A and B are shown apart, each in its own frame.
Chain A
Amino acid sequence: MTAGTSAAAPRQSLRADDDPQAALRTQPVKIAVGLVGMILTVWALGNLFLAFGFYPEKFGSKIVIGLLAIVAGVGGAAVIFYFLNMFVEGLPARLSEGLIPYAFILPGFALVALMLIYPTFQTINYSFANSDSTAYVGLQNYRTIFGDSEFWSSIVNNVLWLVIVPAVVVAFGVVVAVLSDKLSANGEKFAKSLIFLPMAISSVSAVSIWALVYAYNNPGQAQTGLLNAIWTSLGGDPQTWLQISTAKLNSILLMVILIWLQAGFAMVLLSSAIKGVPEDTLEAARIDGAGEFQIFWQVVIPQIKGTIITVFVTVFITVLKIFDIVYVSTNGQYGTNVIANLFFNKLFAASEAGQATAIVVVLLLAVTPLIWYQIKHFRDEEANR
């Protein structure tokens, strides 16, 4: 057979009934060109990006490098996929048809594997190793952390965060969504914008802002912290709020920051869900004799239940990973520590890689069922559409 002509022939002709054997034939030219093309492209791209790093002066300015990187990166990906496609099409048709979807998924999957799956298993692996990951120590790390009161205090704090923050965020979001729904169109936009604004602020900036609210000045001086200003004007002595661990007050004050950040997100989703509740079901309930509270609990809430669960789980997962607020404000002192912050300190301050990885493995195990539930819930929602 002449590989050149059949490589140029359209794919349909391979399936023609008069030549059933054609479907089984390989096209070595396509395979070779595809393979060589892929290798060359990867080689060229690799060299280009290495050149960006080692000889930046040859490209003039950083802007040129940036633009080149975007063009070469996106274009290079397209060229790689082009040659990959050619390579797979060169294989016998029956094989290539089965292979094509996997061939296209593979590069993306490889990146995910490299960035997510490999580190996960490496972390689990290290959790059984010593402090600089040079020798296995069995379950020693787990024994150490489970015997550490700081670990248990972090667990308690994490549980408190998980119990309080998502529930308050959802409740606050529902209340704001319902109340703003009753405002005039402009009033609603204004109120929602105000509540949504903190969403645009990073956690670290938020802590800086709230540090001003919780700020402490010595007695006798003017209290610049909002909370102390109110407290002293009511006759109290100025307090170092974030150091009061009685009844976990300082932890709760830190939770307020996250609630402030997340409420806007909850409100936006819940508000659109509430607007999606058909007006006539509310009217039907009114005629059926229900009061406004009964309508809210028995007609509105059940109809937005899906969104409530989505918001709750999303915030819940955010809270599971809570780190930055605690790290920036108290760094886990005064009994405010949480698991992620404990991990960070074990790994980078105490250089205890084994214990640190053991702590995140515990966190990972705790998160897994929730993520599984979230995915299941999303699938059910999709199926119900």
Chain B
Amino acid sequence: MATVTFDNATRQYPGNPVPSVDKLNIDIADGEFLVLVGPSGCGKSTSLRMLAGLEEVNGGRILIGDRDVTNLSPKDRDVAMVFQNYALYPHMSVADNMGFALKIAGVDKSEIRKRVEEAAKILDLTPYLDRKPKALSGGQRQRVAMGRAIVRSPQVFLMDEPLSNLDAKLRVQTRTQIASLQRRLGVTTVYVTHDQVEAMTMGDRVAVLKDGILQQCDSPRRMYDHPANVFVAGFIGSPAMNLMNVPVTDGGVDLHGHTVPISREDLGGVGKDVTLGVRPEDLELSSDQSGIPVTVDVVEELGADAYIYGSTEQKLLEATGENAGAVPFIARVDGRRPPEKGEKIYLKPKTGHVHVFNSESGLRVGD
């Protein structure tokens, strides 16, 4: 068990003018489950591979416990990794796959067998110990990859999108299993994913990266309630937060004649415009035609709730990255009485549930 520290860790690929990971600073506590999340190409996998020793560190330091491992080879770091494609050795049986690290370390054969069997029991792999990976299903292979990590009792678990090759149902199931297993074993874990739902449900803390730069590192709750900037606000949460530029007025910001109250000191020195963010569930239907006028394009009925996707004259901030392009205005409404498609409705944010960002810098304003 150990803490992990990224101290200004930087990775710049040769021939690339910008670093892929730029001065990353994260302190991970002993036994913590930290999730690195971000759009593809944000440097999350590179950060993990730097910690594993598979990627050179061009600047800064990486520490495991008190040990500076920046220049150590992977074998001297005492970390175990679960790969996206599992990277099982195809020529070895499940038991040999799981025991390979111990065999290399020169552990006694009967001891290896004992530890492999223990891990197999935890992961329900006992009947498959003599099979080759080829003869296993995707979910079983994933568990073997987990088992290979567990057997070693390393100081840190590294997981690189370990669920992305599973089908949706199995992914949800395995997600819970990994999280509870990690709590039980208490091993410090760094987990990479592009799926923000995975990040929110599994992590003790979530670190959001974009273009190699850490945007925010916080608990899922805090991340959701207090996104540090516009990027995090738009990235965390599904469906995504509605973000729009609105003018500042006396006592708050103006939303089509409806004033959203925001304290004066929060709005000090932000200029004439701010970016206002409202999550779909923080909107309510307005009875007096004030608020944002929305024409309903699609109604998604989920039973208890319904999401409406609509268009509005209000200019919304366009999404960047993978989902680049215009975004619809999204609101959650009561599932029993959803508006009709094509209907024009007025929505206003619930008091105290808006996020205000500086429209220049994108940083959060106020608390």
Flag if A288 contacts B104 (CB, 8 Å).
yes
User: DSSP majority for the A interface?
Assistant: helix
In the docked arrangement, what's the CA distance between A66 and B53, Å? 66
Given contacts A288-B100, A302-B91, A303-B90, contact A280 B75 (CB under 8 A): no
A304 nearest CB neighbor, chain B only: B91
A291: CB under 8 A from chain B? Answer: yes
CB-CB nearest in chain A for B92: A302
Interface flags, A286-300, vs B, CB<8A=1, else 0: 111111001000110
Q: Is the CB of B79 within 8 A of A287?
A: yes
A278 and B87 in contact, given A287-B52, A287-B54, A289-B105 (Cβ under 8 angstroms): yes
Instruction: Give the chain B neighbours of A281 by CB distance below 8 A.
Output: 87-90
B75 & A284 in contact (Cβ 8 Å cutoff): no
Q: Is there an interface contact between A294 and B87, defined as CB atoms closer than 8 Å?
A: no
Nearest chain B CB to A293 CB, angstrom units? 11
> For A281, A289, A291, which residue has the most chain B Cβ atoms within 10 angstroms?
A289
Contact in complex: B81, A285 (CB < 8 Å):
no
**In the complex, what residues of A have CB within 8 A of residue B286's CB?**
none
The count of residues in chain B whose C-beta lies closer than 8 Å to any C-beta of chain A is: 26
Q: Nearest chain A CB to B155's CB is how many angstroms away?
A: 12
B146-203 interface (Cβ within 8 A of A): 148, 152, 158
User: Does B75 lie within 8 Å of A290, measured CB to CB?
Assistant: yes
Taking a contact as CB atoms under 8 Å apart, the answer to whether B54 and A289 are in contact is no
Contacts of B79 in A (CB 8 A): 287
Q: Is the CB of B104 within 8 A of A289?
A: yes
Chain A proximity of B88: nearest CB distance (Å):
7
A281 to B86 CA separation, bound complex (whole angstroms): 8
Q: Could you say which residues of chain B place their CB within 8 Å of the CB of A291?
A: 75
Q: How many Å from the CB of B188 to the closest CB on chain A?
A: 15
Q: Is A275 an interface residue (CB 8 A)?
A: no
Q: Answer yes or no: A15 CB below 8 A from chain B CBs.
A: no
Smallest CB separation, B14 vs chain A (Å) = 13
Q: Is A305 an interface residue (CB 8 A)?
A: yes
Bound complex: CA of A288 vs CA of B158, how far in Å? 12
Q: Scan residues 281-325 of chain A and give those whose CB is less than 8 A from a CB of chain B.
A: 281, 283-291, 294, 298-299, 302-303, 305
Shortest C-beta distance, A212 to chain B (Å), equals: 45
Distance in Å: Cβ of A338 to nearest Cβ of chain B: 37
Instruction: Determine if B54 and A283 form an interchain contact, defined as CB atoms under 8 angstroms apart.
Output: yes
Say how far B57's CB is from chain A's closest CB, in angstroms.
16
Of A283, A287, A298, chain B has the most CB atoms within 10 Å of the CB of A287
Q: A283 to B73, Cβ gap below 8 A?
A: no
Q: Which residue of B lies closest to A290 (CB)?
A: B104
Q: Are B83 and A284 in contact (CB under 8 A)?
A: yes
* In the complex, chain B residues whose CB is within 8 Å of the CB of A294: 104
What would 7 more interface pairs be, CB under 8 Å, given A284-B88, A302-B91?
A: A280-B84, A280-B87, A284-B148, A285-B89, A286-B53, A287-B52, A290-B75
Q: Show the binding face of B for A, using Cβ within 8 Å.
A: 52-54, 73-75, 77, 79-81, 83-85, 87-92, 100-101, 104-105, 148, 152, 158
Residues of A within 8 A of B (CB): 278, 280-281, 283-291, 294, 298-299, 302-303, 305
